[in-house]
Structure 1
Amino acid sequence: MSTQAARRRPGAGNPGSRPAARRRPSRRPSRADLHRRKVVRRRVGTILAMLVVTVVVCTVWFTPALGVRQVEVHGIADLTGDEVRTAAAIEPGTPLVRLDVDAVAARVRELPRVAGVEVERVVPGTVRLTVDERDPVAVINAPEGVHLVDATGKDYATVVQPPDGLPELKVSPDALGAAVAVLTQVPESLRRDVLSVTADSPSDVRLALTAGREARWGSSADTSRKAAVLAVLLTRKGTVFDVSSPELPTVS
């Protein structure tokens, strides 16, 4: 007699077989676990940040990645850009952050025509030099040429032809400061009439004016008051106007 084998599921009807294992439910992390994870993340973040900062500092401070590639010169009139760059003596490739701007400025100020200079770092690789050149207020005629004198009394350059409209200084060395002080403090309307300034001493400044007139100034003290008195005196006839004592001016 033929029999049909019954289909059975694995383990079915087998009393010795084990039941299928149940999946254990996942355990929620405790507060201590969460705290440890947060601490680890913070430490890893701190380490990464320190690495980034270290790389940036090394790149900026020790490599030419942000080094000087160009030196711009602004504000020049009589000087040339090459003259200023040569005086600045900035080595190409020098990291910008390590550039001694005070030393650069001091070297540029050694040029006689330079009254001042501003040094700027411009990322990624430019140094900008803004130069303030001296402006002449008077000239001194000498055998070797015409000396230009600025408002500080500095004799800073020698040229062949003097600039138009500048008075001549005929002064002793110790009287140069007083003569320039008078010349730069008088009103522009009077300064246009000054042809020359003569002084044998700081207390004996005299202004040669147009139309053959002379203003005897004395010292550079009370210049604004003397200028106001002289403006009134010049309305009178005369050739010599003495305001050295502004309380007692005279005309002759």
Structure 2
Amino acid sequence: MSRGRLRARLGGLRRRTVLLWCAAVLALAGGMVFLFYYSAAFTVQDVQSEGAGDEVAARAVELAQIPHGRPLARVSEARVSERVLEDRRIAGVEVERDWPSAVRLVVQEREPAVALLGEGATWLADASGVVFDEVEEVEDDLPVIALRGDPTGLDRETVTGLVDLWQLRPDDEELEGELGAPQVDGDGSIEMEVGVVTLLWGPPVENEKKWNVVTALMGQETIDPQGGLEMTIDVRLPDAPVVTGLPEGTG
């Protein structure tokens, strides 16, 4: 056999070998796709939830809506997470495949930072301002803010501002009276009362500066929350506070 024919035969053999390897790889890939995505070998037989209390854990499994018998590889983590997060008590969730036949939901519950009491109901809110759960009882160490309105109608920015406002409030001795329940209007502006003195607060921003202004004004002899003369302290612009209702001859 000539050298040219030998090279041609070897070249053809190499091409057939490559083609056979390619066919084998494609067959293997196809088999793997079928095995994991379409066969009954690795399907969901159990959905578990951990990291949360019993009620929230059970609700997470219910919201996940992962049917038994679905191939594990076809479980969409993004869609499952989106459904589980419909429960506002849940701050986050990780969807993990537990081969060969289970899905694990690792749930992170929201931590309450404040309780909001209004219109006969008590709601918990977290530090990010999400109002997430109505409760019958409040833990002893959780601050409670009484509102003249529905807590669920508040936006997140207002809730976080309220938490800050309430945490910074002076004690009753500094205010010379007991601070009443904040009233939050639809635009997020706040009004409170100390005895006969009404505080026009505006939105819950610059809270520390506003409290400093209020306590300074309350220390004046002409302003008496326990007196008989109704007054208003407007600190919506804390750098230019306005007091109305002062006795005649003062100002």
Aligned AA (1:171): G
Task: From the superposition, tell whether residues 65 and 174 of structure 1 become closer, same or farther in structure 2 (CA, over 3 Å).
Answer: closer
Residue of structure 2 in register with 1:3 after alignment: none
More RCO (CA 8 Å, sep 6+): 2
1:237 Cα offset (Å):
6.1
**Deviation of the 1:140 alpha carbon:** 2.5
Structure 1 length as normaliser, TM-score? 0.67
Q: Tell me which amino acid in the other structure corresponds to 2:213.
A: L
Show the counterpart of 2:237. 245
Structure 2 gaps, min length 5? 172-178, 219-224, 226-231, 247-251
Q: Which residue of 2 aligns with 1:23?
A: none
Q: Deviations over 1:164-212 (max 9, x none)?
A: 322122236897337425214x378516978742124426403568x99
How far the C-alpha of 1:113 sits from its partner, in A, is 2.3
The answer to whether residue 126 in structure 2 is matched with residue 128 in structure 1 is no
Return the alpha-carbon distance in structure 2 between the equivalents of residues 197 and 47 of structure 1: 74
The 3 A distance-change label for structure 1 pair 174 and 128 is closer
Residue 197 of structure 1: which of 182, 187, 207 is its match? 182
Q: What's the secondary structure of 2:66's corresponding residue?
A: coil
Out of 74, 82, 87, the position equivalent to 1:106 is 82
Identity, % of aligned positions: 27
Conserved? CA contact 1:116–1:133, under 8 Å: yes
Matches within 5 A, 1:1-252: 30-77=6-53, 79-136=55-112, 137-143=114-120, 145-150=121-126, 156-163=132-139, 164-171=142-149, 176-177=154-155, 179-184=158-163, 186=164, 189-190=167-168, 196-202=181-187, 204-207=189-192, 216-220=200-204, 223=205, 226-233=206-213, 236=216, 238=218, 242-249=234-241
**Contact conserved, 2:233 with 2:241, CA < 8 A, in 1?**
yes
Secondary structure at the aligned position of 1:58 is classed as: helix
Alpha-carbon offset, residue 55 of structure 1: 1.2
Letter in 2 for 1:216: L
Distance of 1:208 and 1:61 partners within structure 2: 64
Whole-angstrom distance in 1 between the partners of 2:158 and 2:198: 15
Return closer, same or farther for 1:73/1:203 CA change in 2, 3 Å cut-off: closer
- Judged with a 3 Å threshold, the aligned counterparts in structure 2 of structure 1 residues 183 and 173 are, in CA distance, closer, same or farther, namely closer
C-alpha contact (below 8 Å) 1:72/1:129 kept by paired residues: yes
Deviation at residue 216 of structure 1 after TM alignment:
3.2
- What is the rounded CA distance, in whole Å, between the counterparts of 1:248 and 1:98 in structure 2? 62
Answer with 1 or 2: which has the greater Rg. 1
Q: Kindly tell me: are residues 212 and 180 of structure 1, through their superposed partners in 2, closer, same or farther at Cα, counting changes over 3 Å?
A: farther
Q: Residues 167 and 196 of structure 1 are in contact (CA less than 8 Å); yes or no, is this contact kept in structure 2? A: yes
Inter-partner Cα distance in structure 2 for 1:100 and 1:192: 51
Q: How many residues align?
A: 220
**Is contact 2:118-2:150 (8 Å) kept?**
no
**TM-score (normalised: structure 2):** 0.67
Amino acid at match of 1:139: L
**1 CA distance for matches of 2:118 and 2:153?**
16
Match of 2:176 in 1: none
Q: What secondary structure sits across from 1:66 in the alignment?
A: coil
